[in-house]
Structures are given as structure tokens and as C-alpha cells.
Amino acid sequence: MPTLFSSDQQKQPGWYGGELNPIVTGKPRNEVAPEGSRDAVLASLGYECMDVFMDQDYGTVERAVRTYGFIHSKRAIDYIREHNVTTIRWKARARFKTVK
């Protein structure tokens, strides 16, 4: 039986910016897929999902600031420095459906 597969790392609800999403957005994490989003549509079509977590190691606080913080916000930079963050966790989701 063939399996249809879809993977999307950047579009997981509540995971823009990885584990620091609440810091980046200034809002509590909301992992509910918005109506009409790719994740919601695939779920409505019966696709199962498997989430995979990955840790990105920046090596040093200043390297995390220069790469991650530069992209995401001053609020993220301040958090990284205050909490000595050198790794950030990300979530990728694979959706799949076996068809007969």
C-alpha cells in the first residue's frame, strides 16, 4: 500500500521560533492549527502525524544571539543572554496517510 507523506518544519502551530516562541511572539504558545492551514487541512483529510524534536546547538550564548536573536527580536536576545541559552529546540511534523 502506498503512503502519502508531507513534512513541514517551519509551519507548526505555536512553533515559529522554536521553543522560544512565547518569547519571540510575546504570547502563550498556541498549538491549535488555524482553520484552513496546511496542518488543519491534512488532518481533516485523515493524515496522521508524527512530531520530531530537534535541538540546535549554537555553541555559545553570543553565537545564539548573533544567529537566532538577530532574526527573531531584541526580546529573544535579552532572554538568551539572561538565561545563558546555547541550544534551542525545534519541532518538525511529518504527516502521512496510507492509501489502499
Domain locations along the chain: 3-98
Q: In what order do the strands lie in the sheet with 87-98?
A: 3-8, 87-98, 48-57
CA distance 29 to 82: 21
pLDDT digits (tens, 9 = 90+) for 7-38: 665 568 889 899 999 999 999 999 888 898 88
Q: Give how far Cα 59 sits from Cα of 55, 56, 86, Å.
A: 12, 9, 6
Instruction: Supply the pLDDT for residue 70.
Output: 86
Q: Output the pTM of the full model.
A: 0.79
How confident is residue 98, by pLDDT bands cut at 50, 70 and 90? confident
In degrees to the nearest 10, what's the CA dihedral of 30, 36, 39, 45?
A: 140
Instruction: Supply the pLDDT for residue 9.
Output: 56
State mean pLDDT over 65-71.
93
